[in-house]
Amino acid sequence: MRKYIFISFPTYVFFYALLLGSLSSCVSPGSLVPTRLEVTRSSPLRPLPALHIAVTDAKAVQQLYQAAYKLPSPSLGKRQCLENTGIVYYLKFIQNTQSSEEMDLQVSGCLTLTTAQDTRQEDDQFLHLVAKVIHVDPLVPLLPVIK
């Protein structure tokens, strides 16, 4: 014997409105209009000073965000990823207090940008734009010379 659960109409309306509200806060990839960028960096292979940058120039942030989605997918097959320093910049693009999108920027080795949905192949022009927007140049600091 099957048991059926009946939900009152007001309860049904409440859950439907809750579902619609949660769907409207979801952001599809590339559709954000960010006005702020927060950047941090990790470097497990060599010690670097902590980095936390907040960029509030909305025009520059949007230009970088759009450029990220114009990058191509990496080519298929084996790739040589030489000179990997392990440095990764974590980019958090923020539209408002509820909508944001994060990307991981590998600045050496295979030069990939990882979003929540896919991976993109960086190029020199994109890396130059990143350095310009976050005011960190070079993105891969030189090793100190030991004498």
Look at residue 3 in the predicted model and tell me its pLDDT: 52
d(CA 122, CA 112): 6
Q: In Å, how far from its chain's centre is CA 24?
A: 20
Q: What is the largest CA-CA distance in the chain?
A: 84
Peptide bond into 141 cis (omega under 30): no
Single pTM value for the model: 0.77
At 17, list the tokens: 């409105």
d(CA 103, CA 118): 10
Task: Name the residue ranges covered by the structural domains of the chain.
Answer: 27-134
Q: Write the single-letter amino acid at 44.
A: P
For residue 64, count other CB atoms closer than 10 A to its CB. 22
Instruction: Print pLDDT tens along the chain (147 aa).
Output: 555 454 544 444 344 433 434 433 455 667 899 999 999 999 998 888 989 999 999 999 999 999 999 999 998 877 778 888 999 999 999 998 789 999 999 999 999 999 999 999 999 999 999 999 999 999 998 876 566
d(CA 119, CA 114): 4
Q: In Å, how far from its chain's centre is CA 91?
A: 5
Look at residue 47 in the predicted model and tell me its pLDDT: 86
